[in-house]
Homo-oligomer: A and B are copies of this chain.
């Protein structure tokens, strides 16, 4: 019914938008904090305001993912304005799950580009560490589509299944996958060790990695970003400054992972990147360095592929070859990333932007300064990659020649969602697409939990549970309904659709087609 024109630029007769610059940046140290959300936000805002040297703030935007459940606060936009002594100044809260930090930045960009505001204060933060881990995991899992959530799937569980599938599609052995993921973690911890704002400042070795606990196979503790408190603030202005916002992209994807065409590439990143590159008239090879959303080590690798830095299923090679290291050709996550800097969910996107600003200004510690940084990019994932943003920032002190007939050399690939159907499966056999064993389960779900995405023999993708681990991708399985869940059981030969089970499956739900069959 509703069409989407695939890119964000209307080519009508609009007025020319204002340019938007970063005037100031401020940040709290990330980690476990005894302070409240508003205290952290006030600290970050005060630092950013001091850095910005602007005379006034016309508008404020607050990014927080879930203050309601993490801290019991509502009405946060007005609260923060009040705490800053800015009551009077208009203030709105913006939220897009874990990409909130970028989405609130985007809203600030439009407010200035519109010409209605000159200086906009953007603050993003989250307070998470005071709750038990199982409770935090449950709150974070509320971003997951209801049916997948009902099976006990948490963010790490879904990320683990994506990782398992990547291993299969890239043709990696289990050992090589572990070695690659370890290298991402080691690199980001190394960068984090140089960043005074980072939650983790200790170096880790491959054996530390291999000795860390399984969260959800094949992901270990060191593959997952930690639970973190922190806040970041940025002042945007229409007055010319050193760093300019040159590109901005934002795209959603299906809420359910099972509705996607690919498990190992994120359409929302590709679409957002396409928009950002086109707006900035920049190609992937022009980017000096990037902050990529590494909530899970594998997501950094997938991110670098979806952003067009490396071909699909080859991002892992760039890690092995050190290309993404701080002294490599394309440093990824010089800040330490979500992995080492920490991941206060609503703040991470803005922390990525803060790092890019500092890098472009040449203000970070020498050991992690990207030399000659001119164009920096951030990629921020919302939910399980269904609300992603890409931001491109650029130094304005040198002229950049843009060819008159500039064209993007970036191909976003297939950007239409898969045709999906969500009725109860009409066949009781299928093939394992990917799987995991989840150890750190959400509040109320028994551990360990074996989960698998299965493609039924009629082509439908479903999430299932299994009583046993030891599954393999491509394995034939039988589906059995137990209580409210579908369970899988390995079968030696392709199964047949027994009419009895089919009817029993149908009988357990108000299946639309039944009406026609039995009017």
Binding site for B on A (CB under 8 A): 1-6, 8-10, 12, 14-18, 45-46, 49, 55-59, 65-66, 68-69, 72-75, 77-79, 81-82, 84-97, 103, 106-107, 109-111, 113-119, 121, 139, 142-145, 238-239, 248, 250-256, 259, 267-268, 271-272, 382-383, 386-387, 389, 415-417
CB < 8 Å neighbour of A92 from B12, B69, B96, B383:
B96
In the complex the two chains form, what is the Cα distance from A117 to B1 in whole Å?
20
B142 lies within 8 A of A74 (CB): yes
Report how many copies the assembly holds: 2
Kindly provide the distance from the CB of A92 to the nearest chain B CB, expressed in whole angstroms: 5
Q: Which of A46, A113, A121 has the most CB of B within 10 A?
A: A113
A110 touches B103 (CB 8 A): no
Shortest C-beta distance, A254 to chain B (Å), equals 5
Inter-subunit contact B142/A91 (CB<8 Å): no
Contact between chains at A5 and B58 (CB < 8 Å): yes
The answer to whether A66 and B56 have CB atoms under 8 Å apart is: no
Are B82 and A386 in contact, CB atoms less than 8 angstroms apart? yes
Contact A93 B92 (CB under 8 A): no
A72, A88, A92 pick with most chain B CB within 10 angstroms: A92
> Can you spell out 27 A-B residue pairs with CB atoms less than 8 angstroms apart?
A1-B49, A2-B84, A4-B56, A8-B117, A10-B116, A10-B117, A10-B118, A14-B18, A17-B115, A65-B74, A66-B68, A69-B69, A74-B139, A75-B255, A75-B383, A75-B387, A78-B252, A78-B387, A88-B416, A92-B94, A92-B95, A92-B96, A93-B94, A107-B110, A110-B114, A111-B114, A113-B115
Query: Which residue of the partner chain, among B4, B17, B85, contacts A86 with CB atoms under 8 Å?
Result: B4
Q: Smallest CB–CB gap between A8 and chain B, Å?
A: 5
Contact B386 A87, beta carbon cutoff 8 Å: yes
Contact yes or no, A2 B57, CB < 8 A? yes
- The distance in angstroms between the C-alpha atoms of A418 and B95, with both chains bound, is 31
For the complex, what is the distance from the CA of A57 to the CA of B113, rounded to whole Å? 20
New contact pairs (14) apart from A18-B114, A66-B68, A72-B142, CB-CB < 8 Å:
A1-B85, A2-B84, A4-B58, A5-B58, A65-B74, A74-B97, A74-B142, A75-B142, A78-B383, A79-B145, A92-B387, A93-B96, A94-B95, A107-B110
